Structure 1
């Protein structure tokens, strides 16, 4: 498989997974995450089953996700989005970085920050 094909497949996989997750289908993570999934975000557990149990109880499970951009290559998918939990108008700006191997997410990093008031960011957050 060419690197361009893998990049396209990674993009489709991640976008499908995020769409399903945003609809409340947390079980989609069983298909997306490798059993030995490694999590680099502080406080979040590694391992597919432990991570799914954790994320199902977290605020992200009920949040609206507004994807702003997706960048992929043969091994990684990077997604920049706004996560808006119920009752929070501004939400959070999130960048997720996923490493994929053979159609499964094997590793995850993220950067998360509150979206400030629009007056503080004259060129926009997204």
Structure 2
């Protein structure tokens, strides 16, 4: 798979799961294993599916914007802007590793809440 294909697939995978269909996201884009590094999500494919189903049930009106996507080697990094209920906003950076078949097999992330006030006029993007 090319870097461009991996980028396209990482965005599609995350968007499908985030918007409420993690099982389809896994079927289309995940390989034989899924190693999870987010401590709030159980390891493995079922942990991923269960987490995103729960998030969809609890927060159906959340939204996501993909700000940047960077790929190098077998890694893709996504920089996103997430808006949750009551305009609770977060910046996330997700990293996905792809296996030799072009399937996602590992995930890391960092999440930061966007503060209501900033010491500078710059956005977090």
User: The TM-score by the shorter chain falls in which range?
Assistant: 0.7 to 0.9
Partner of 1:27: helix, strand, or coil? Answer: helix
Match of 1:80 in 2: 79
Partner of 1:58: helix, strand, or coil? Answer: helix
1:8 positional shift: 1.1
Match of 2:38 in 1: 41
For 1:23 and 1:120, the matched residues in 2 are separated by 33
Q: Is 2:6 the partner of 1:10?
A: yes
Match of 2:63 in 1: 64
For 1:118 and 1:28, the matched residues in 2 are separated by 38
The 5-angstrom pairing of residues 109-120 of structure 1 reads 109-120=108-119
Q: Provide Cα deviations, 1:60-81, integer angstroms capped at 9, x if missing partner.
A: 9632001110001230110001
Listed as ranges, the gaps of 5+ residues in structure 1 are none
For 1:50 and 1:20, the matched residues in 2 are separated by 16
Structure 1 outlier segments of 4+, above 4 Å: none
For 1:65 and 1:96, the matched residues in 2 are separated by 13
Q: Provide Cα deviations, 1:81-106, integer angstroms capped at 9, x if missing partner.
A: 1111122x241110000001122111
For 1:23 and 1:51, the matched residues in 2 are separated by 14
- Superposed CA RMSD in Å reads 2.2
How many positions carry a matched residue from both structures? 121
TM normalised by structure 1 equals 0.82
Do the aligned residues in 1 keep the contact of 2:59 with 2:85 (CA within 8 Å)? no
Listed as ranges, the gaps of 5+ residues in structure 2 are none
Do the aligned residues in 2 keep the contact of 1:75 with 1:99 (CA within 8 Å)? yes
